[in-house]
């Protein structure tokens, strides 16, 4: 079976070896840019969540159900994207363009949704694009760069963080503004509430209300959701995605006209989905590793998506009561730290064993979430510092585990599909659970949900070391040709 697998994959590998370094660099920059676009259109929903919630007349639990739409699309895109990526290697750039088109449509229409169901459908389109782009990007880099793929894969995931960093910056200019409202008591003990809305364009309105109250003058702050213009931020990001779509089509045109034409590979559907296809025919080992990888990414990405979507609302609704500006800045700082965490390993991942990197990332991640769960709800400084640390340690884990997995199994499109199906399922489940507790128990429960999931994926990694080290010993004995773990 080992010889059969090699004979099937050799033509493709020989073709890819013909590509020179300039082509590889151009391909890397193009795919990294596509992931920057993906980071922007997927993470816009975080800072704009409260505005979207107002537009569809929903609470946090209901809008969390809409966010599940992204996970549904993510699941579908990952499942079929893995098969398509393995079956039609010659057309991956066309698949990239189609994924960007689907994501652009969902992004453009999301702020115009008038119901939770319609918003769910738009998020599902974004998730479909995410699952497909994720599979294509990782599998493409592994095929193009092969044994030198560690740094390019980290750059790919770093690019997502860059896009996510810019998302709240773009959104901030168009969020619903906060206004100061002064309650003034008159002689008849009737209370008039007057607040002058900030001038936005030609808007200069006075908010008035009258009711009976014996209290003295009070000034409070409310959010004027009627003045939200978040659709402009979604349109800006959609336009950037269209530009990258054209670049993807240009690469496909180049591949069709002047690029090397790989030999057609007739691989059966069963062969692609077999657990042994990624472990040189060892179905038992392949299945064990894939199950553990699925569970790891279930909890990791469930944490990742939940934190990014609810951090803004958490900072606003807990006793910290951040302003719109501070909450948006916190979101940007989180994603900035997340991006730095993903970017730094690019420079030293070739020299530090990836296992040690993962252990350090998990320890830092757990330490940050423990402090957040204890102190963040009532201490703004802890929220600022530890949310940044949490993002910095969370960011590189995804790419590190992909690299680490490549030492034990061949990371095919279907292996990436397992990773992203697990990710989609976790995002689906954890976001809904967190949204439910956020709405009905209180915002402080967000950190408890993240703590439970963080402990879970750290535990799965420890368990995963068991069968992996058994396989490593077999490699050392010469019974397989997979490389020893770094």
Measure the CA–CA gap between 77 and 72, rounded to whole angstroms: 9
Measure the CA–CA gap between 236 and 170, rounded to whole angstroms: 8
Q: Where is average pLDDT lowest: 116-125, 375-384, 403-412?
A: 403-412
What is the arithmetic mean of pLDDT over 295-299?
94
Question: Which residues does 222 contact at the CB level (< 8 Å), separation at least 6?
Answer: 178, 179, 181, 195
φ and ψ of 108, to 5 deg: -65, -40
- CATH class, range 2-176+228-257+270-476: mainly alpha
pLDDT, position 19: 64
What is the arithmetic mean of pLDDT over 219-246?
81
Q: How far is CA 297 from CA 67, 106, 116, 397, 458, in A?
A: 18, 25, 27, 10, 11
Instruction: Decide if 167 contacts 160 (C-beta within 8 A).
Output: no
Find, among 371, 364, 413, 355, the residue nearest to 393 by Cα. Answer: 364
Q: Please, how many CA atoms are within 13 Å of residue 105, restricted to the half-sphere of its CB?
A: 13
Is the dihedral angle over the CA atoms 156, 162, 163, 165 positive or is it negative? positive
Tell me the average pLDDT of the chain.
Answer: 79
DSSP at 144:
H
Instruction: Decide if 49 contacts 309 (C-beta within 8 A).
Output: yes
Measure the CA–CA gap between 337 and 387, rounded to whole angstroms: 9
- pLDDT tens profile 341-360: 988 888 877 788 888 889 99
Strand, coil or helix: 395: coil
- pLDDT tens profile 29-69: 999 999 999 999 998 988 888 888 888 888 877 887 888 88
Each domain of the chain, given as residue ranges in start order, spans 2-176+228-257+270-476, 178-227
Helix, strand, coil % in the chain, rounded to nearest 5: 75, 5, 20
**pTM flag (> 0.95):** no
Q: Does residue 15 have a pLDDT over 50?
A: no
pLDDT, position 471: 56
Residue with tokens 């204890």: 374
Q: Where is average pLDDT lowest: 3-17, 239-253, 272-286, 426-440?
A: 3-17
Which two tokens mark 347? 């420079």
């Amino acid at each position: 079976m080992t010889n059969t697998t090699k004979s099937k994959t050799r033509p493709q590998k020989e073709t890819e070896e013909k590509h020179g370094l300039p082509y590889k660099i151009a391909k890397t920059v193009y795919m990294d840019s596509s992931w920057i676009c993906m980071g922007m259109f997927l993470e816009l929903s975080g800072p704009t969540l409260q505005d979207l919630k107002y537009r569809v007349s929903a609470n946090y639990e209901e809008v969390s159900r809409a966010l599940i739409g992204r996970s549904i699309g993510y699941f579908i895109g990952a499942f079929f994207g893995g098969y398509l990526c393995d079956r039609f290697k010659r057309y991956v750039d066309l698949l990239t363009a189609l994924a960007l088109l689907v994501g652009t449509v969902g992004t453009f229409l999301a702020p115009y949704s008038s119901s939770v169901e319609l918003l769910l459908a738009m998020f599902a389109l974004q998730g479909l694009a995410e699952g497909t782009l994720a599979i294509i990007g990782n599998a493409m880099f592994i095929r193009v760069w092969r044994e030198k793929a560690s740094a390019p894969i980290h750059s790919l995931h770093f690019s997502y963080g860059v896009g996510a960093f810019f998302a709240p910056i773009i959104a901030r200019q168009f969020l619903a503004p906060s206004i100061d409202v002064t309650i003034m008591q008159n002689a008849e003990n009737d209370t008039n509430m007057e607040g002058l809305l900030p001038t936005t364009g030609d808007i200069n309105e006075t908010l008035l209300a009258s009711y009976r109250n014996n209290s003295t003058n009070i000034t409070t702050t409310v959010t004027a959701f009627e003045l939200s213009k978040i659709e402009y931020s979604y349109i800006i990001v959609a336009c950037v995605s269209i530009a990258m779509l054209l670049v993807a089509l240009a690469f496909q045109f180049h591949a069709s006209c002047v690029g090397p034409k790989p030999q057609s590979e007739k691989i059966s559907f069963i062969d692609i989905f077999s657990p042994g296809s990624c472990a040189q025919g060892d179905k038992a080992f392949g299945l064990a590793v894939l199950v553990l990888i699925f569970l790891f990414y279930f909890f990791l990405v469930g944490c990742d998506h939940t934190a990014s979507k609810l951090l803004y609302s958490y900072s606003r609704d807990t006793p910290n009561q951040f302003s719109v500006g501070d909450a948006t800045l916190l979101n940007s700082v989180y994603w900035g730290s997340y991006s730095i965490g993903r970017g730094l390993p690019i420079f030293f991942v070739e020299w530090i064993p990836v296992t040690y990197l993962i252990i350090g990332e998990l320890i830092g991640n757990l330490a940050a979430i423990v402090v957040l769960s204890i102190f963040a709800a009532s201490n703004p400084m802890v929220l600022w510092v530890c949310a940044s640390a949490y993002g910095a340690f969370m960011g590189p884990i995804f790419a590190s585990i992909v690299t680490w997995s490549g030492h034990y199994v061949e990371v095919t499109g279907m292996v990436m599909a397992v990773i992203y199906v697990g990710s989609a399922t976790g995002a689906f489940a954890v976001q809904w659970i967190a949204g439910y507790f956020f709405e009905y128990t209180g915002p402080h429960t967000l950190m408890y949900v993240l703590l439970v999931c963080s402990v879970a994926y750290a535990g799965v990694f420890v368990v995963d070391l068991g069968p992996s080290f058994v396989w490593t010993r077999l490699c050392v004995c010469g019974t397989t040709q997979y490389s020893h773990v770094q």
